[in-house]
């Protein structure tokens, strides 16, 4: 026996110590993959979300407007070259060559309006990203709570299945000793089989919830949730991610409306000329410089459609802000009621579980003493199992209701 043990120990050292010695020689250690925290899981899900690129495009739009507003020119400059000659006509040697550069300028107030629009777009892009993170955090929390529920169901089903197998063995011994009838053994075997089926169902439910988690976040590990959360004592405010985004949308539409009004008049242009010419072949060439400024007469009719569209967009943004406030207020009432119901249900479930456990203990003692039959014991065990499952789920559902309430108020767990 000692020789076999020594041989096993040598084999264990042979296969388990070699990678560690190699890692030590290389100056490295085996990688350790820690489970992500809640903030990391939310960020991973945000990066996989289809709307993640939209925020980047909004930032690029704001950057484009800002670069345009930072320029001293109100548009793209242009250059022109012209050449005149009377060679086809009188052919007296007339020649004229002219080069010009046109520089569009900002009208008073146009540049400031465009800068305000750029700032509003950038601010809304940041608010959209914060809103996306808040929305994704809610989805991540729901997935984690679903996993908690199915995991608790599986754990409880596993414990009940193990208890049913123990009871089956005890009944089998008593049937062999002639204390119980074989029908009792069949009854307890059926109960054990039903527990096994329930355990398998909970395992499949857990696999399904795990697959949904991995598909949404791309992570294999599930972070732990903060324990002992309490409902936040605050009200909905303008700092809420949804209201903040809608408020900044109103600000952006206001800036766009103001920008449209400023664009009623086209940009003035300053043109610089350089000319070289002669009147006839007997004359020498002369050089001259010139400047020109053009001031267009703006009309409200030329930009009336753009101004009307911006006014309509501003009205829609204001309605969106009011609708968002109303939705959040109604949802707060509904979740507050859910929180109160789950709190009351938890107290009832605790009382119900205590009574069911007491009854099962009494029936188990009576069955062991031969004072009660197996049917009453199985009935008590079934009711106790149902009460225990209801208590566990009710506790998790209460914690989930607290989490939903806090999330609705704008809380984003880190």
**Are the CB atoms for 194 and 371 separated by under 8 Å?**
no
The rounded distance, in Å, linking the Cα atoms of 414 and 40 is 8
pLDDT in tens, 230-262: 777 777 778 889 999 999 999 999 998 888 887
Model confidence at 298, pLDDT cuts 50, 70, 90, reads low
**CA 208, CA 197: separation in Å to the nearest integer?**
17
Domain ranges of the chain: 39-70+107-264+318-408, 74-105+267-298
Query: What superfamily in CATH does domain 39-70+107-264+318-408 come from?
Result: Outer membrane efflux proteins (OEP) (1.20.1600.10)
Going from the C-alpha of 355 to that of each of 348, 361, 363, 390, the distances in angstroms are 11, 10, 12, 13
The residue to which tokens 């009871």 are assigned: 167
Asked if pLDDT for residue 363 goes beyond 60, the answer is yes
pLDDT reported for residue 20:
34
CATH number of 74-105+267-298: 2.20.200
Mean pLDDT highest for which of 35-39, 50-54, 80-84, 264-268? Answer: 80-84
Q: Classify burial at 356, counting beta carbons within 10 Å of its beta carbon; exposed 0-12, middle 13-18, buried 19 or more.
A: buried
Task: Give the containing element (helix H, strand E) for 97.
Answer: strand 95-104
What angle (nearest 5°) sits at the alpha carbon of residue 228, between those of residues 225 and 233?
A: 105
Q: Residues 274, 280, 283, 285: what is their CA dihedral angle, to the nearest 10 degrees?
A: 20
Distance CA 213, CA 141 (A): 10
pLDDT tens profile 151-194: 888 888 888 888 788 878 877 887 787 777 788 778 888 888 88
Residues shown for the chain: 414
**Mean pLDDT score of the chain:** 81
Q: What is the mean pLDDT of residues 335-351?
A: 86
Q: Is this model's pTM higher than 0.75 or not?
A: no
């Amino acid at each position: 026996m000692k020789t076999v043990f020594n041989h096993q120990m040598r084999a264990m050292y042979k296969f388990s110590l070699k990678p560690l010695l190699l890692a030590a020689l290389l100056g490295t250690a085996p990688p350790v993959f820690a489970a992500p925290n809640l903030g990391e899981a939310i960020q991973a899900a945000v990066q996989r979300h289809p709307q993640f690129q939209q925020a980047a495009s909004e930032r690029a739009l704001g950057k484009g407007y800002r670069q345009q507003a930072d320029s001293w020119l109100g548009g793209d400059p242009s250059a022109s070259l012209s050449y005149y000659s009377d060679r086809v006509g009188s052919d007296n040697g007339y020649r004229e060559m002219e080069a010009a550069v046109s520089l569009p300028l900002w009208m008073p107030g146009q540049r400031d309006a465009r800068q305000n629009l750029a700032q509003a777009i950038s601010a809304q892009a940041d608010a959209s990203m914060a809103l996306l993170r808040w929305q994704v955090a809610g989805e991540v929390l729901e997935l984690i709570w679903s996993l908690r529920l199915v995991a608790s169901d599986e754990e409880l089903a596993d414990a009940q299945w193990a208890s049913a197998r123990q009871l089956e063995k005890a009944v089998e011994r008593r049937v062999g000793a002639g204390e119980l009838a074989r029908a009792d053994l069949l009854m307890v075997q059926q109960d054990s089989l039903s527990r096994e089926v329930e355990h398998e169902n909970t395992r499949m439910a857990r696999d399904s919830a795990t697959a949904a988690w991995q598909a949404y976040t791309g992570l294999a590990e599930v972070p732990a949730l903060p324990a002992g959360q309490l409902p936040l004592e605050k009200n909905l405010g303008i700092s809420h991610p949804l209201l903040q985004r809608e408020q900044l949308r109103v600000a952006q539409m206001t800036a766009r409306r103001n920008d449209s009004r400023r664009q009623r008049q086209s940009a003035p242009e300053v043109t610089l000329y350089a000319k070289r010419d002669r009147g006839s072949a007997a004359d020498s060439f002369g050089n001259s410089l010139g400047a020109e400024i053009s001031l267009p007469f703006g009309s409200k009719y030329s930009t009336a459609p753009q101004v009307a569209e911006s006014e309509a967009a501003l009205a829609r943004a204001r309605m969106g802000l009011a609708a968002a406030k109303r939705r959040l207020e109604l949802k707060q009432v509904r979740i507050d009621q859910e929180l109160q119901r789950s709190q009351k249900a938890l107290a009832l479930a605790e009382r119900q579980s205590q009574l069911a456990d007491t009854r099962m203990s009494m029936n188990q003692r009576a069955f062991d003493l031969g004072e009660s039959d197996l049917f009453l014991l199985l009935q008590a065990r079934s009711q106790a199992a149902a009460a225990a499952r209801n208590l566990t789920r009710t506790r998790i559902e209460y914690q989930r209701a607290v989490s939903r309430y806090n999330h609705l108020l704008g809380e984003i767990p880190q």
